[in-house]
Amino acid sequence: MVQILVLASIIVVLVMSLVLASLSLKHQKLLKEYFDLKERLKKETTEKRVLEKARRSLELGVERLVEREMAVTGETLSQVSKEIKMNTAKTLQNELKKRFDEEFAKALAEIEVYKKTKLVEVDKSINKIIETTTRQVLGEAIDTQKHEELVLNALASAKKENVF
């Protein structure tokens, strides 16, 4: 009986070994899958960290680039604005000077016309006064041409006599 018990024990041990061996293969497969998944998860986590780090780095780079571009654009706009203002001021100044010169020349021309008109009126008035005066002094009127001759002769005589 001891032999049967020993034999039964051996059979139980063998069956258990076979069950364990069978479980061990399944267990090994499961462990391998577990470690593979764990490794893949570790890689994915590492990749996610790397990608997240790269994303943050890119965001910072883009922000800095945008800030620099905005500063450069702001400076450029400021410079262009100044140039436009200067060009506009110069253009307006030139236009105003041109208009002033045109208006001034027009005013001078009008003054000259007015002056000539008034000189003609003064000449007519003087001739009338002379005619009236000569009529009262001489008792008769002399024409303008005769009066001009008398004045020119009187001036030539005065010059000869060194009156002036």
pLDDT at 107: 93
Residues in CB range of 150: below 8 A, 6 or more apart: 142
Q: Which residue has the higher pLDDT, 51 or 2?
A: 51
DSSP letters along 97-114, please?
A: HHHHHHHHHHHHHHHHHH
Q: Decide which of 21 and 107 is more confident.
A: 107
In the chain, how long is the greatest CA-to-CA distance?
196
pLDDT confidence of 25, banded at 50, 70, 90?
A: low
Residues 79 and 69: their CA atoms lie apart, in Å, by: 15
Tokens of 42: 């570790």
pLDDT tens-digit series, residues 53-96: 988 999 998 999 888 888 888 888 888 888 988 999 899 999 99
**With contact defined as beta carbons under 8 Å apart, do 136 and 144 qualify?**
no
User: Residues 152, 135: contact at Cβ < 8 Å?
Assistant: no
Cα separation, 82 vs 89, in Å, equals 10
pLDDT for 100 equals: 94
- Report the C-alpha gap between 20 and 153 in whole angstroms: 161
50 pLDDT exceeds 80? yes
How many other β-carbons are positioned within 10 Å of the β-carbon of residue 56? 10
Residue bearing the bigger pLDDT, 63 or 16:
63
Q: What is the pLDDT of residues 105-159, one digit of tens each?
A: 999 999 999 999 999 999 888 888 877 887 777 777 677 788 788 888 888 888 8
Q: Vertex 53, ends 52 and 54: CA angle to 5°?
A: 90
Tell me the C-alpha distance between 73 and 133, whole Å. 87
Q: State both tokens at 53.
A: 């780090």
pLDDT at 124: 87
